[in-house]
Amino acid sequence: MNNKQIIERSHYIPQNFMAVMKVLIIDDDAFCLQMLDRGIKNLGYQSFVYRMWKSQTIQDIIEINPDLILLDEYLDGVRGSDICTILKSINQLRTTPVILVSGVEGAADIAKKSLADGFIEKPFLMAGLRDTLTNFRN
Structural domains for the chain:
19-127 (3.40.50.2300)
pLDDT exceeds 70 at position 116: yes
Confidence of residue 138 (pLDDT cuts 50, 70, 90): low
pLDDT value, residue 18: 58
Residues 6 or more apart whose CB falls under 8 angstroms from that of 24 comprise: 47, 48, 49, 50, 61, 64, 66, 68, 69, 70
Q: Which helix (H) or strand (E) holds 102?
A: strand 98-102
pLDDT at 107: 87
Contact of 59 with 53, CB cutoff 8 Å: no
Question: Quick one: average pLDDT of 13-17?
Answer: 44
Cα 56 to Cα 45: distance, rounded to the nearest angstrom: 24
pLDDT for 134 equals 87
Average pLDDT (100-128) is 90
